[in-house]
Structure 1
Amino acid sequence: MRLIDYLDKGASLDPGAPCLVCDGEVRTYAQVQQLSGRIASALAAHGIAAGDKVAILSANDPTAFTCVFGISRAGAVWCPINPRNAAAENRALLDLFECSLLLFQAAFAPLVESIRAALPHLRTLVCIDGEVEWALGWQEFLAAGGDPVDRHAPDDLAMIAGTGGTTGHPKGVMLTGTNIETMTAITLMSYPWPAGGERPSYLALAPLTHAAGVLCFPILCRGGSIVIMRRPDIAEFLDNVETHRITHTFLPPTLIYMVLDHPSLDGRDLSSLQCFWYGAAPMSSSRLEEALTRIGPVMAQLFGQTEAPMMISTMSPSDHFADDGSIARDRLSSAGRPAPLVTVAIMGEDGRLVPRGDRGEIVVRGSLVMRGYYNNEAATQEASALGWHHTGDIGYLDEDGYLFIVDRAKDMVITGGFNVYSTEVEQTLMAHPAVADCAVIGLPDEKWGERLTAVLELRPGTCVDTAELTTFVKARIGSVKTPKQVEIWKDLPRSKIGKVLKTEIKKQLLEPDGGSDGPHKAET
């Protein structure tokens, strides 16, 4: 399926049904379908051929999201660009993707102006919601369209997504229509959906350039409505769940913690929720248990990566509970079970697959896995060595088939000759009632080789002694896994999707003046 086929499928069920809802404005399937056709025709009129790369630089916005379907209908390739990226990273991505046309919001015109001269492939700039002297206006762009256009992209290529530049040069992940179709099929197979012909309603607060965007496709093919939030606001998020009777939504753990800490949560009616997806970063087991109690038995995990979008493994709401109805605490730190259409295995350092219970790199096969990295054959070959896609995550499968991710391979700390997985230490620290979030890293140390170091962010209004924290960890997982250095910072550095940036933390700690917020450093 092409991306446009999901919209057209929903329109075939009821063209007058709500499709996109934002700030009180409702756009029906027929209206979105019609606009996608005008966009496709305008793209063709401006020289966009099947297979050309078209980028969108926008915050969450219904017109920008409709452009995704116009690009697909024109047979072009969607290149999502996150406005939260630094200008240099977005320039690198647009250049890497060889984008011919850029659709952008006026709010990001200064960013575009600062980089456009350095983009030789970029022929056309279109501002979708304002007037910019050096770009086409939205109505001017649409007016150039002529005959209807409905093409197929060559080689099934649907989108190219950037991996981000926080760990080195960004790479372009080529995702095909088959990849997205596999992800959509897994989503429909693995999670609860309304029965009896009722249509789902999905609340998109997280960026539509990432997980929140691709999760729209299974909603659309069931004729559901997508409520778009332009900016993250937890009170508004809760209002929308109640007002629009939201059945499905997705948030990364950081924002779920904010939901749990919101003073009005317990007085809200969240009974419409059937599936509250969480993912994109590890979630504290203790806070997940809190969410299952206070939000409801609707939490649903997904684990994937850009190269194998969203659904390497899944954990439905019912999987969070034992047969007797109690919370299955031993599963809460897992990533669920391998998805129905994906083969998951654990590979040792020698390239051989290891038995259940043994740790190694998580590797996957199946039609979920990307075609490769755009114009980067060396990286593609490395990621697909030995006939498996290599995730870079260290984990194991237990006897019940649940996948446990113990660390990123690059995040494992070797201290005093022992391998310590930072995720285990982070989960233990997160169980302390004063800790809001944390990161555990290794720093160079003459005695230990690497000094296990924890950097913490506390919950508002709390205070804790670092010695108390180390005692807390030591009592639960032993002295080897207890941080030798503990820092408390006001805010942890994060990526545009809320992931804690360990590379930035390490960089700050290795600078002469350190990186902490005032006198909150303790060595134990």
Structure 2
Amino acid sequence: MRSIDYFDRGHDLDPHRPALIDVASDERLTFAEVKLRTERIAAALYAAGFANQQPIALYGTNSAAIMIALLAIWRANGIWVPVNTRNAVDANAAYLNYVRCKWMFYHSSMATDVAALRQAVPTLTRFVCLDRALGEDPSLEEFVATTGGTTLPDFSDPFGAPDDVVGLFPTGGTTGPSKGVVVTNSGWGTMLETLGTAVAGKTDDPVSLVVAPITHAAGPVALGTLALGATQVILPGFDAAQVLETIAAHRVTHMYLPPTALYVLLGAPELGRHDVSSLRFFILVGSPVSPEKLRQAVEAFGPCMCQAYGQVESPMITTWLPPETVAAAAAGVHPERLASCGRPTRSVQVAIMDDAGALLPDGERGEIVVRGLLVSKEYFDLPDATAEARTFGWHHTGDVAYRDAHGFFYIVDRKKDMVVTGGFNVFTAEVEAAVTELAEVRECAVIGVPHEKWGEAVHAIVVADGIDAATIIAHAKARLGGVKAPKSVTFVTEIARTPAGKMDKKALRADHWRGDRLVN
């Protein structure tokens, strides 16, 4: 099915049910109202000269208007180009030039950046401001008034237009400029169906909290739960106290956050003051989660914690660790599974491969490789990069992991983040998990720093209260042994992150390396 068909599936369950609740503006819209708005916006696009399958950039923080604009892009059979509000303008300009984007919907709060993008991206010539007229750019309301009786054609076919493109999604860009991942209805629909299967049931009144950026995993989670008829409660950004208050006030049942936000919630003084018993699925996606913090989360939020693994090229839910498994592990039944990202979902094959292309048996560490409908079509205009990622007939994720005898996968590192010290491979996620077992430690990032004898030494960058380096090193040594334990520790107030919210290991290494020497 087409992406918009999943919203319509939710609409048809109950058109009068609230679809969007914007907490900041207190705007409330039913499924019927949202559908009508998206139809009018899509018709206005074609009245203004839009062409089928053109890219449309969407730029703004979370709001009902942004969500409606995204649904309207898919209603028009446009190609969504997410623009990250946390990126530098130059990085966004480079990506928009690369994908040759012509159209942009934006919020007026981004006006300064949009003015810069207007100058830096020659192909970007059509702008619509979502909330008000701005200069020569019409407001969305004014733009919709140009519809002039335009009717939309039927963009689908008997197969749901599987090869039409849903989006050009940027990769993280931590090792260079972002590549555009071409995602089609076939792969996107597979993801939505898989997610829907995983998070359906357990409630007849689904309410999903949208607090992470819609331009990242929160967008797919929102659409996947809209297909189930879930009301979306939208917050403009993450604030721990507001999140906890909103869960209680709206009886939220479904929520997605990255592990870093979970850690903030666990340390929030407001935790325990609000009723969070309505939660049925608290999904963690984006990076490995500390097993100890996950155990604490089960204590704080109940048996709703779950985890998915994926990446833009194999989105969102390549593997799945359901709430029942997490709750059992927290209670002591296979406690090692708190460190797992789960088992493969139904529409993909997942395996572990060595550098020579051989698939590895259980227990051996290698790269996660994936096959199936979930895998994206290609990198936009980058055939060599596409071919490289598909070496040996599998999609290569760049993540190092192993599979146990029960089929659970355990991520141990990104290939590029592994530390090689004295000829031994040290996987940073394993060290980070050990350090964050300490109650005083809120977050930990591990990197390699240069060492004259060993080549690299394990170094921990820690956010903590009331603990010293010697205690951290001793604990890690007792848990992991002398080779894997950090040899040094730096304490910081926060850890550098990418615009997508992941630990920026490249930036962290740059703070400690100058050429091949340690920065003192």
Q: Report the TM-score range of the alignment, normalised by the length of the smaller protein.
A: over 0.9
Using the TM superposition, name which of 32-41 and 324-333 deviates more: 324-333
Contact 2:329/2:338, CA 8 A, preserved across alignment: no
- 1:239 is matched by which residue type in structure 2? E
- Offset, 1:192: 5.0
Aligned to 2:117, which of 96, 104, 115? 115
- 1:152 counterpart (132, 155, 180): 155
State the secondary structure of the residue aligned to 1:266. coil
Instruction: Report the CA distance between 1:326 and its aligned residue.
Output: 4.0
Q: What is aligned with 1:177?
A: 185
Answering whether residue 344 of structure 2 is matched by residue 338 of structure 1, we say: yes
Does structure 2 retain, via aligned residues, the 8 Å contact 1:248–1:274? yes
Quote the residue 2:73 is aligned against: 71
Alignment of 1:256-335 (within 5 A): 256-322=262-328, 326=332, 328-335=334-341
Residue by residue over 1:336-385, the C-alpha shift from the partner in whole angstroms, topping out at 9 and shown as x without a partner, is 11112110011111111111111111000010000011111111111111
Shift of 1:63: 1.1
Corresponding residue pairs, total: 511
Structure 1's consecutive aligned runs of 4 or more residues displaced over 6 angstroms after TM superposition are: none
User: 1:434 matched to which residue of 2?
Assistant: 440
Secondary structure, in 3 states, of the residue corresponding to 1:21? strand
Aligned pairs (5 A) from 1:355-504? 355-458=361-464, 462-504=465-507
Q: Tell me whether 467-476 or 397-406 shows the greater mean CA deviation.
A: 467-476
Please list the CA deviations of residues 7-26 of structure 1 after superposition, one character each: whole Å capped at 9, or x if unmatched: 21122122111001112321
Residue ranges of structure 2 left out of the alignment (5+ in a row): none
Secondary structure of 1:215 counterpart: helix
Q: Please state how far the C-alpha of 1:386 moved relative to its aligned partner.
A: 1.4
Residue range with higher mean Cα deviation, 154-163 or 13-22:
154-163
Tell me the TM-score normalised to structure 2 length: 0.95
Q: Which amino acid aligns with 2:215?
A: T
Determine if the alignment matches structure 1 residue 101 to structure 2 residue 103: yes
Separation in structure 2 between the aligned mates of residue 347 and residue 397 of structure 1, nearest angstrom: 11
The 8 Å contact of residues 27 and 64 in structure 2, kept in 1 or not, is answered as: no
Q: Distance in 2 between matches of 1:33 and 1:417?
A: 59
Give the SS at the match of 2:486: coil
Distance 2:293 2:446 in 1: 18
Kindly indicate whether the alpha-carbon contact (under 8 Å) linking 1:396 and 1:404 is maintained by their aligned counterparts in 2. Answer: yes
- Cα deviation 1:405-445 (Å, max 9, x = unaligned): 11111111110111111111111111112211111111222
User: Matched residue of 1:419: which SS?
Assistant: strand
In the TM superposition, what is the alpha-carbon distance from 1:257 to its structure 2 partner? 1.1
Distance (whole Å) between structure 2 residues aligned to residue 25 and residue 324 of structure 1: 39
Per-residue CA deviations over 1:169-189 (Å, capped at 9, x if unaligned) read: 110011111112111221222
Letter in 1 for 2:323: P
Identity score, percent: 39
Is the Cα contact below 8 Å between 1:203 and 1:246 reproduced in 2? yes
Equivalent position of 1:236 in the other structure: 242
Change in Cα spacing, 1:432 to 1:503, as seen in structure 2 (3 Å) is same
2:209 to 203, 210, 227: 203
CA contact (8 A) 1:253 1:282 kept: yes
Q: Quick one: distance in 2 between partners of 1:171 and 1:110?
A: 25
Q: CA separation in 2, counterparts of 1:505 and 1:263? A: 29
Give the secondary-structure state (helix, strand or coil) at the position aligned to 2:85. Answer: coil
2:139 alignment counterpart: 137
Aligned-partner Cα distance in 2 for 1:117–1:344: 44
1:188 counterpart residue number? 196
2:267 & 2:242 partners in 1: Cα distance? 14
1:418-473 C-alpha deviation (Å, 9 max, x unpaired)? 11111111111111122111111112222111121111111xxx222211211111
SS of the counterpart of 1:267? coil
Deviations 1:115-144 (A, max 9, x none): 212212212011111232142222221111
Deviation of 1:280 after TM superposition, in Å, equals 0.3
The change in CA–CA distance for 1:150 and 1:434 in structure 2 (over 3 A counts) is farther
Q: Is the 8 A contact 1:94 1:119 kept in 2?
A: yes
Aligned match of 1:5: 5
Alpha-carbon deviation of 1:325?
A: 5.7
Q: What is the CA-CA distance between 1:264 and the residue it aligns to?
A: 2.3
Contact 1:48 1:100 in 2 (8 A): no
Cα gap change, 1:211 to 1:515, in 2 (>3 Å): farther
Question: What's the C-alpha RMSD, in Å, of the aligned pairs?
Answer: 1.9
List per-residue Cα deviations over 1:315-352 (Å, max 9, x = no partner): 10001144996454210001111112110011111111
Query: Are the equivalent residues in 2 in contact too, given 1:454–1:487 (CA < 8 A)?
Result: yes
Q: Which moved more, 1:131-140 or 1:271-280?
A: 131-140
Aligned equivalents of 1:98 and 1:515: distance in 2?
Answer: 41
Q: Whole-Å Cα distance in 2 between the matches of residues 73 and 259 of structure 1?
A: 36
Q: Distance in 1 between matches of 2:352 and 2:383?
A: 24
Gaps of 5+ in 1: none
SS for the counterpart of 1:276 is: strand
TM-score (norm 1): 0.94
